[in-house]
Amino acid sequence: MNRNRPYANLSARGFFSVVFKRKRLIGSVALGICAMALCAWLVVPTVYEAQTQILVKLGRESVYIPNWPVRDSAIPPLGTRGNELINSEVELIKSKELAERVVTELGLPMFQNQSIDLWPGSWGTLFSTKQESDLKNEAAERVRKQLVVEPVKNSRVIEIRFRHRDPQTAAQAVSHVVDGYFEKRTLLYSSPQSLTFFREQSDTLKKEINELENELKRFKETHDLSALMEEKSLLLKQKVEIQNNLNLATSQRAEMNRRIKEIGKHMVGMPASVSQGEDLESNPALINTLQARLVELELKQRELSAKYTDNNRLVQEVKNEINLVREKLSREESQRHARTRFGPNPSRLQMENDLARNQIESQATADKEKALTQHLDTCRRRLEQLNDLELKLREREQTIKIKQDNYHLYIAKLEESRIANAMDERKITSVSLVESARVPLEPVGPKLPVVMGVVLPISLFLGIAAAFLREMFNDRLESPEDCEEVFRAPVLTSLLEYHGSEARG
């Protein structure tokens, strides 16, 4: 074999040299392969594709409805993101149950000889010993693989496509898938037990509310709470009034005790008897009067000094009057005679009378204070009792209020469930059929331009490969260059090949 071939250095000249030299071989291989592909295209059965579209909206099925009553503001939307909602519907359409339903309704023979790669499998089923259930499962699996469910980009539309050799079967399969999807979706999102549940719960709550209302009525009658707030208001006013009177009595008794102490201090050292006068030009009555007046003025001065300052007009007047009485008393006392008469001290007697009167009033005030304290304690105990009763009353009323709110919510949910069941019975859902499946008029595969577009480059590549193989295993000298390379001598001349037929022509 000659190793020095034009293709040995992998140059463009050597490559094109081989291609032009073996152009007939390359054309023959390419045409043969294309002819085989054309025959295969004619033999392989055509495939038809039926499609439909459905629109998924955010409806009542996409809202979470709990089994207990809650307020509308507490109901969270479910699947508000479009991808979650669309993906859920896609998985529902691609469920095995719908594929089995299509096989059951259209018949097993429609899908038994259908293969995913579009080649008939009649030989496999002819000698198959499988049971009918296994064959149905295999056919359903084929249907699932042939069924294409894809969401349309940037929309809530789902496109459903199915391929089959029979256009009628393809359209019917898509229609049965859509019908089964609507029925299954309605069944999944429906809750027929909720109507009975909400009705039973509302009836139970109604009975409980009636019992609680009767219990509340008996509680009010037992404790006489027909006018609870009015009684509390009167007791509060009475408590304030009693407290004010008690404070006043306490201050009065303190003032009387202070007076008693002051009078007791003045009585210390005061003689029980005083001079009643003298035999000659004596005036004991005046002296006693002045002395009593002096004591009264001193007591008054102390009271005023406790309330006012020394510069107050009343205090100054009392001081001036005390000075005048003392001067008068001094003058009268200085005028004495040889014999003086003595008798009971009227100032002490007056002080004793004042002391007795203040003691009696202090005792009376103390008794009054004790009575007011007892009355105040009675009011407080009654207010505490009313507060406890009010708390129990509010608890019962609050319980009734909660039960009533729950009852109204259950009634609202009962009506919602009734409406939802009615809509489910009429198959009113948030999914709409955009376009029904139609019988396809033209097949989707295999298409001749596509087949030839794939086969033509492959056939050319195989033809070129065959040319190079032919060149590799060829030992003939077919050109002057081959001779020069083999014999390492220049070619002086070359002769064209003579064909007798061409000469005759």
Q: Can you give the pLDDT of all 505 residues of the chain as single tens digits?
A: 444 454 444 567 777 777 777 788 888 888 888 888 888 767 777 788 888 988 887 665 555 555 555 554 444 444 445 677 788 888 888 888 888 888 888 888 877 655 444 344 444 444 455 677 888 888 888 888 888 999 988 888 899 999 888 888 888 888 988 888 888 887 777 777 777 888 888 899 999 999 999 998 888 888 877 788 888 888 899 999 999 999 998 998 898 888 888 888 877 777 777 666 555 555 667 777 878 888 888 888 888 887 778 788 777 888 888 888 888 878 777 765 445 566 677 777 888 888 888 888 888 889 989 999 999 999 999 889 888 988 988 999 999 999 999 999 989 888 887 887 777 677 667 787 887 888 887 777 777 777 778 888 898 888 888 888 877 777 666 667 667 666 777 776 776 665 555 444 3
pLDDT at 61: 58
- Residue 419 in any domain: the answer is no
Residues 6+ apart with CB under 8 A from 431: 54, 55, 56, 57, 89, 182, 185
* Nearest residue to 89 via CA among 60, 64, 61, 66: 61
Instruction: Please provide the size of the chain in residues.
Output: 505
Q: Is 29 exposed, middle or buried (0-12, 13-18, 19+ CB in 10 A)?
A: buried
Q: Which residues of 231-268 are buried (b: 16+ CB within 10 A; e: fewer)?
A: ebeebeebbeebeebbeebbebbeebeebbebbeebbe
- Residue 7 in any domain: the answer is no
Q: Do the beta carbons of residue 300 and residue 318 sit within 8 Å?
A: yes
Together in a domain, 159 and 19: no
State the Cα–Cα distance between residues 350 and 331, nearest whole angstrom. 24
Q: Do the beta carbons of residue 111 and residue 139 sit within 8 Å?
A: yes
Instruction: State the sign of the Cα–Cα–Cα–Cα dihedral 80, 81, 83, 84.
Output: negative
pLDDT at 126: 43
Q: Do the beta carbons of residue 167 and residue 127 sit within 8 Å?
A: no
- Residue 439 in any domain: the answer is no
Q: pTM of whole model > 0.95? A: no
- Residue 423 in any domain: the answer is no
**In the structure encoding, which two tokens stand for residue 414, read together?**
């009962």
- Residue 50 in any domain: the answer is yes
Q: Do the beta carbons of residue 69 and residue 413 sit within 8 Å?
A: yes
Spacing of C-alpha 170 from chain mean position = 46
pLDDT at 122: 41
Long-range pairs, 135-140, Cβ under 8 A, ≥24: 135/108, 136/100, 136/103, 136/104, 136/108, 137/100, 139/103, 139/108, 139/111, 139/112, 139/114, 140/96, 140/99, 140/100, 140/102, 140/103
Q: Do the beta carbons of residue 462 and residue 21 sit within 8 Å?
A: no
Residues 6+ apart with CB under 8 A from 400: 209, 212, 213, 216
Together in a domain, 138 and 178: yes
pLDDT at 400: 92
- Residue 287 in any domain: the answer is yes
Instruction: State the sign of the Cα–Cα–Cα–Cα dihedral 439, 440, 441, 443.
Output: negative
- Residue 434 in any domain: the answer is no
Domain boundary among 402, 430, 457: 402
**In the structure encoding, which two tokens stand for residue 383, read together?**
């207010």
Expressed in angstroms, the distance from the first to the final Cα of the chain is 38
- Residue 331 in any domain: the answer is yes
Together in a domain, 389 and 456: no
Q: Do the beta carbons of residue 135 and residue 149 sit within 8 Å?
A: no
pLDDT at 244: 92
Structural domain count of the chain = 3
pLDDT at 274: 65
Determine the structural domain holding residue 454 and report its residue range: 12-42+446-504
CA distances from 149 to 83, 158, 187, 314 (A): 14, 7, 21, 111
Domain boundary among 378, 402, 426: 402
Together in a domain, 394 and 457: no
CA distances from 167 to 5, 117, 441, 475, 499 (A): 57, 17, 8, 58, 61
Together in a domain, 269 and 351: yes
Together in a domain, 35 and 59: no
Together in a domain, 181 and 254: no
Together in a domain, 32 and 177: no
pLDDT at 71: 52
pLDDT at 399: 92
pLDDT at 17: 76
Domain boundary among 346, 367, 402: 402
Together in a domain, 55 and 175: yes
Together in a domain, 355 and 374: yes
Together in a domain, 364 and 249: yes
Whole-angstrom Cα Rg for the chain? 63
Spacing of C-alpha 275 from chain mean position = 102
Together in a domain, 36 and 103: no
